[in-house]
Amino acid sequence: MKIHTEDAFERLIVEHLVLHGGYEPRDRTAFDPDEALAIHAGFDAQRALIPADVLAFVADTQPKPWARLQAIHGASLADIFIEALCKALDSFGLLSVLRRGFKFHGQKILLAYFKPGNNLNPEVWDLYDQNRLRVLRQLRYDPKTDDELDLALFVNGLPIATGELKNAMTGQQATAAKQQYRQDRDPHAPLFRFKARALVHFALDADEVWMTTRLNGSSTRFLPFNRGHDGGAGNPPVEGRHRSCYLWEEVWQRDNLLDLVGRFLHLQTEEEKDADTDQVTVKETMVFPRYHQWDCVRRLVAAARETGAGTNFLSQHSAGSGKSNTIAWVAHRLASLHDDQDRKVYDAVVVLTDRKVLDQQLQNTVYQFEHKSGVVEKIDTDSAQLARALSAGVPIIISTIHKFGFIQDKIQALPDRRYAIIVDEAHSSQTGDMAVTLKELLSDSALAARLAAEGEDLSAPDQLALRAALFRGPQPNMSFFAFTATPKHKTLELFGHRGPDGRPAPFHLYSMRQAIEEGFILDVLKGYMTYQRFFQLAKKVAGDPVLDKKKAAVALARFVSLHPTNIAQKTQIILEHFRACVMHQLQGRAKAMLVTSSRLMAVKYKQSCDAYLIDKGKDPGYSAIRCLVAFSGEVQDDQVRGVTYTEPQMNRGSDGKSIKETELPARFASSVYQVLIVANKYQTGFDQPLLCAMYVDKRLDGIQAVQTLSRLNRTCPGKEATFVLDFVNERDAILASFQDYYETTTTLDEVDPQRLYELQHAVGEFQLYTPSELDGFAAVLFKFKGDRKLTDNARLNAWLDPAVDRFKALKRDDKDAEGTQRQEAFRAKLNAFKNLYAFLGQIVPFADPDLEKLYTFGRLLLRKLPPPAGGAPVDLGDDVVLASYKLKLDAEGELTLKAGGSGELPGPEYTGTGTAKPPQERLSTIIEVINTRFGTDFDAQDLVDGVTAQLVANAELQQAARVNDKGNFGVPFREALDDALVTRHEKHGDFINTLFQDEALGAFFRNWMLDQVYGRLRGGSDECPVPRGPEPD
């Protein structure tokens, strides 16, 4: 036997499943994998099951009902029963029949027994042990063809999973297995019918595993089912074994596969409403956990069983990790979890969440497992409902934490119970007063006993103080299971597990890096640009001698000459960039978000955007853009007396009616609106996959930066990259914020746009295409949608083929090393041009059709070129890209993330802060302190520096400081300060006006400056402390 072949790989898996995985025939010390060939098993391809295994299982485990049926049907029972079973499978689905059985001639027949949660009934364990798992290889699955499937797994004769194996040592990888499922496996074949037969399909090689639960031809979507490696995608090496061995050694192992069928797999039904037509469609998805979900649930449950109540757990799971399903699985498991002494570990599970989608999803998922109502109760009316649910001992309760603050008077003392509290999106509210109230309500008598022991000699008030203090700490009858993508320092301290170094860390991790590399979210930093850098790039192009200076000046003058502090000017930059570089993406469905620093600024931006678009009239490029604004409450503008602004008032539908706040997300999802202007709304928890660009006019830092920019990271077909234009923040500061939460290298370094023309020239020097071919290709591709024809596909190929032929001709034969080098040099140059243009095309509107033509021509040419000698690179998502190909610029590029170590969050110095711990703040931080404290957004540090230097050099102030205390010194100081400010009004008018008009801000600034100047003039340090206060939430 050849040991390097796919056949050897297949035999190894089968042998392991039989000898070590609990598959039939069990209790064998040796096994020939040829015994598992499908021809020996009696597989019925038309019915897609193994009748003999089905009948044997039913007869052995349910002899009494089977005897009654035999008495009725006699020798024909087997055929009648299998036929009825097939109808049940087709009507109710395989998963439902496996879990609940079906009625047959008055008898309830079960097709599987699942592992009980305790040892109270030994008979159930005996039945569970009689499940028959079988693996078949080389299965002729389709009655219409002789095609063979590599592997199939069965439970009691019913198909659960299929597998296609590939072997890199014989030239194929898992990608080929995925293509085999897409192209060669008929989804209508009996074995592959969605819901009715096999539930999941695996494509694997020695290194990677992919899976899908629904075959749909070329549209089949495979998800990675890999463990992750060094914080990213893939699988780690395993000494002496395949990287993918966990699949057959762990996942397909007998107990684990039955557990997946019994307590993980579920049919998710979602109603999707078209935002334009209001038409509702129902989407069904068979949910099979991704590896990290399966691993997280199992590890949490095992740890909870071992430690019992009183231990907390933190799961740091990135966006795109599927937290909703993970939480549903964990909640269901914990509600029925028993320890080794068969005692329930938790009497009830409380899920704290603000997400309505999780409410319904959790109820539906648990109902499929339990098939009975009353297991889950969503608290959606008032706190009295919560009080009743707690008193009644409902197994799983879903609520917001805020409702716990209003039930103290509505609930009697609860009996001693143990609670598992699942926190969805753990944040600071879990450590505040509401969390203390929750602990107080759910605490057991152990706390009262401790209070009696420790507070015996205390006065009554002191006892109450001690009681409150004890409520804040860990409670022995409660375990918290927290989930978040961005844990704060407090979150880590409260829910994290101590590592060998003594520092808290997540119990389970699915990193943002892994989510990006696996394609579940996008890397928003790859398209991040500050306004300063934007300005510099535009200036370089405008002054480039190679460019047509007149053309460049016309295209870029509006960017080069604009000052970034004026809302009207920023509005022009934003809308012109959106119109030129964003709105055509996703077939014209792309959207953008504008993040502002205050509600008043949001109002002004809405007014400015509307005015700009009206001014442009009926130009199609502008009339198709409409904006919405989102802010809370009422806003008044001091400069416009008597006028109050509200969100519904400023948002009007096509019929002129106000748009309610609750209606805004759905309205924004429609094709009518493209830009959403926000002020402290929709910056967290808002999932709109069509968001492709974000314009930031607000100071962001730390977790807020990550959460805000991550609104862009949701994926959808055709969305390959995002763009951020930031008017306020520094690139390095944003990168530092993200560094704490996922492992990445950096955003792209400064790129000289002239490099693009150098690459264009270098590609042309190979002379593999002619200008006329570029023009001919463009004439076919760049058409209005209504003018396109099916024959255009052939014409595109015809224009590409000459370049492909010339590329091949660069090399005389396979031994021509110099020719191979020329080929790969061309490929590298063209690929570099394509990537650079895709990036810079979003930033600088070159107004150069030659670049656009070469980009589109080169992008498709690269796919037609023969693969390099080392083999074709894996190109993920080709179907999606080709199905939504854009005629204008669209972004793409390979991820460049690298391992960079774990983030280290600084602990708070004072209550309400999360910054580092310098005892004093330098002069350069005063503007940032003002912006944070007062909700402003000023960039006036040079003003502060200049004024301070001027006052320190003032001879009269120097004399006054020598002979007066600070109080008396303040009299001449304030007059001198106001004079110095007035002389700088032309450059910093907005800031200085605010100082004179806002009494609180002005007093803060003047007192701080007084401390600075007096301290320096009296010989003190020039690092005077900034008065600190609680930062806004």
| CB-CB contact of 315 with 483 (8 Å) | yes
Q: Is 79 helix (H, G, I), strand (E, B) or coil?
A: helix
Pairing of strands 133-140, 107-109: unpaired
Q: How far is CA 647 from CA 275, 354, 600, 603, 652, in A?
A: 20, 22, 11, 9, 10
Q: Is 220 helix (H, G, I), strand (E, B) or coil?
A: coil
pLDDT of residue 925: 53
Distant-in-sequence, close-in-space partners of 796: CB < 8 Å, separation ≥ 6: 777, 780, 781, 860
Q: How far is CA 562 from CA 527, 568, 569, 984, 988, in A?
A: 22, 10, 6, 21, 16
| CB-CB contact of 693 with 722 (8 Å) | yes
Q: Is 990 helix (H, G, I), strand (E, B) or coil?
A: helix
Task: Kindly give the residue spans of alpha helices, DSSP state H, lying in 232-353.
Answer: 246, 254-263, 291-307, 323-335
The CATH superfamily label for domain 525-737 reads P-loop containing nucleotide triphosphate hydrolases (3.40.50.300)
The neighbouring-strand residues paired with 155 are 133, 158
Using CA atoms in the order 691, 696, 699, 704, what is the torsion angle rounded to 10 degrees?
10
| CB-CB contact of 519 with 877 (8 Å) | yes
Distant-in-sequence, close-in-space partners of 703: CB < 8 Å, separation ≥ 6: 486, 488, 737, 741, 914
Structure tokens at 599: 């509600």
**Distance (Å, rounded) from C-alpha 949 to C-alpha 61?**
91
Q: Tokens 């083999």 correspond to what residue?
A: 871
Q: Is 636 helix (H, G, I), strand (E, B) or coil?
A: strand
**Distance (Å, rounded) from C-alpha 346 to C-alpha 337?**
7
Pairing of strands 634-636, 644-646: antiparallel
Which stretch of DSSP H or E encloses residue 671?
none
**Distance (Å, rounded) from C-alpha 403 to C-alpha 452?**
29
Which stretch of DSSP H or E encloses residue 153?
strand 148-155
Structure tokens at 215: 């075959």
Tell me the residue type at 721: A
**Distance (Å, rounded) from C-alpha 210 to C-alpha 212?**
7
Q: How far is CA 779 from CA 774, 776, 782, 789, in A?
A: 9, 5, 6, 13
Q: How many CB atoms lie within 10 A of CB 741?
A: 24
Q: Is the peptide bond before 461 cis (omega within 30 degrees of 0)?
A: no
The neighbouring-strand residues paired with 202 are 163, 211
The neighbouring-strand residues paired with 212 are 201
**Distance (Å, rounded) from C-alpha 780 to C-alpha 796?**
7
pLDDT of residue 628: 97
Residues (pLDDT < 50) of the chain are: 428, 533-565, 744-750, 842-845, 870-898, 907-924, 1021-1033
> 520: closest CA among 686, 322, 808, 385?
322
Structure tokens at 583: 């709105």
| CB-CB contact of 210 with 202 (8 Å) | yes
| CB-CB contact of 483 with 327 (8 Å) | yes
Tell me the residue type at 682: Y
- We find that the CATH architecture of domain 290-517 is 3-Layer(aba) Sandwich (3.40)
Structure tokens at 862: 């690269």
Residue 798's Cβ-side half-sphere holds a number of Cα atoms within 13 Å equal to 11
Q: How far is CA 604 from CA 192, 609, 629, 679, in A?
A: 57, 9, 10, 11
> 204: closest CA among 231, 184, 232, 224?
224
| CB-CB contact of 236 with 522 (8 Å) | no
Sign of CA dihedral 396, 399, 402, 408: negative
Structure tokens at 942: 């040079």
**Distance (Å, rounded) from C-alpha 229 to C-alpha 935?**
42
Q: How many CB atoms lie within 10 A of CB 448?
A: 12
**Distance (Å, rounded) from C-alpha 186 to C-alpha 183?**
8
| CB-CB contact of 703 with 488 (8 Å) | yes
| CB-CB contact of 418 with 309 (8 Å) | yes
Q: Tokens 């450059």 correspond to what residue?
A: 987
Q: How far is CA 807 from CA 557, 794, 852, 974, in A?
A: 40, 20, 22, 76
| CB-CB contact of 585 with 874 (8 Å) | no
**Distance (Å, rounded) from C-alpha 936 to C-alpha 929?**
10
What is the chain's length?
Answer: 1033
* Long-range contacts of the stretch 798-805 (C-beta < 8 A, 24+): 799/773, 799/857, 800/857, 800/860, 800/861, 800/864, 801/864, 802/769, 802/770, 802/773, 803/768, 803/769, 803/773, 803/861, 804/861, 804/864, 804/865, 804/866
| CB-CB contact of 41 with 50 (8 Å) | yes
Sign of CA dihedral 478, 479, 485, 489: positive
| CB-CB contact of 233 with 516 (8 Å) | no
End-to-end CA distance of the chain: 68
Q: What are phi and psi of 498, to 5 degrees?
A: -75, 130
**Distance (Å, rounded) from C-alpha 462 to C-alpha 31?**
73
Q: What is the pTM of this model?
A: 0.71
Q: Report how many helices (DSSP H) and strands (DSSP E) the chain contains, helices first.
A: 40, 27
**Distance (Å, rounded) from C-alpha 932 to C-alpha 926?**
10
Using CA atoms in the order 657, 661, 666, 668, what is the torsion angle rounded to 10 degrees?
80
Largest CA distance in the chain: 117
- Domain locations along the chain: 6-263, 290-517, 525-737, 754-873, 923-1017
pLDDT of residue 742: 66
